[in-house]
């Protein structure tokens, strides 16, 4: 039987407080919805594709990771607001703020960033990654849909979906069992590689980042 999280219909109430508005995206590891909660706050609710035997350790690992992520400023990361298990489906879920900014995927749909703007974006991306790595919470699943970019001229970057690597490393999936991605024992040195397309003629940055769902 597949453990893939099902899409929830609009109007469904999750955790007695989140009303599903729409499905934002699906991957092998999660289904993401927009939802609303009191007092009229918009959030993103990610339903995780996790087998029953792994749900408790996965939720605990995400909680531990989020505790470490508190050291990262809000301007760099979308922090987990809530964790729980849906009563009807039995699927675990997490809730993060719904970013008011566009993801990289949507930002470059109309046209690629110019070399100057791409350079500013990469600078902001480097700062966000470095902040997470300094807190020993490396983001191991970056893709255009979980990098959110603020307006010009700074193109400030917020990262989300840090927990994707925890779900990816479930038993039976490439990568091994669930792992803690944060804590005093994990010392991380970050190196942000150069991204082609940041100099020279304009090119879509999407070409140089893995598409959604490309990670095993």
pLDDT in tens, 29-86: 889 999 999 888 999 999 998 888 888 999 999 999 999 999 999 999 999 999 999 9
Rounded to an integer, the average pLDDT of 90-100 is 93
Q: Where are the domains of the chain?
A: 13-207
Residue 205 has pLDDT above 90, yes or no: no
Q: What is the pLDDT of residue 3?
A: 66
Percent pLDDT > 90 in the chain is 58
**pLDDT, tens digit, 9 for 90 and up, residues 130-146:** 999 999 998 888 999 99
Percent pLDDT > 70 in the chain is 77
What confidence tier does 4 reach under pLDDT thresholds 50, 70, 90?
confident
Rounded to an integer, the average pLDDT of 143-169 is 91
Q: What is the pLDDT of residue 92?
A: 93
Q: What is the pLDDT of residue 171?
A: 58
pTM of the complete model? 0.75
Q: What's the Cα-to-Cα distance from 213 to each of 12, 127, 143, 210, rounded to whole Å?
A: 25, 25, 9, 8
Average pLDDT, the chain: 80
Question: Phi and psi at residue 19, in whole multiples of 5°?
Answer: -100, 120
Domain 13-207 class in CATH: mainly alpha
Q: 18, 23, 12: which is closest to 35 by C-alpha?
A: 18
Residue 5 · residue 49 · CB < 8 Å? yes
What confidence tier does 127 reach under pLDDT thresholds 50, 70, 90?
very high
Q: What is the pLDDT of residue 214?
A: 39
Residue 94 · residue 55 · CB < 8 Å? no
**Cβ neighbours around 207 below 10 Å, total:** 12
What confidence tier does 197 reach under pLDDT thresholds 50, 70, 90?
very low
Q: What is the pLDDT of residue 209?
A: 41
């Amino acid at each position: 039987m597949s453990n893939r999280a099902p899409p929830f219909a609009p109007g469904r109430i999750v955790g007695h407080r989140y009303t599903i508005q729409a499905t934002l995206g699906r991957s092998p590891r999660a289904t993401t919805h927009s939802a609303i909660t009191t007092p009229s706050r918009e959030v993103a609710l990610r339903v995780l594709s996790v087998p029953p035997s792994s749900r408790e350790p996965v939720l605990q690992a995400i909680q531990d990771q989020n505790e470490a992520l508190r050291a990262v400023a809000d301007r760099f990361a979308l922090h987990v607001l809530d964790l729980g298990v849906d009563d009807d489906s039995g699927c675990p879920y997490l809730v993060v703020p719904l970013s008011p900014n566009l993801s990289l995927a949507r930002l470059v749909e109309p046209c690629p960033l110019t070399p100057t703007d791409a350079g500013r974006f990469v600078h902001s991306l480097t700062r966000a990654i470095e902040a997470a790595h300094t807190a020993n919470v490396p983001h191991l699943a970056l893709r255009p849909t979980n990098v959110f970019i603020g307006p010009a001229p700074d193109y400030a970057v917020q990262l989300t979906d840090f927990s994707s690597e925890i779900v990816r490393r479930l038993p039976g999936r490439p990568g091994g069992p669930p792992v803690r991605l944060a804590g005093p024992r994990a010392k991380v040195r970050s190196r942000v590689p150069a991204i082609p397309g940041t100099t020279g003629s304009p090119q879509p940055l999407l070409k140089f980042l893995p598409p959604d769902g490309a990670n095993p």
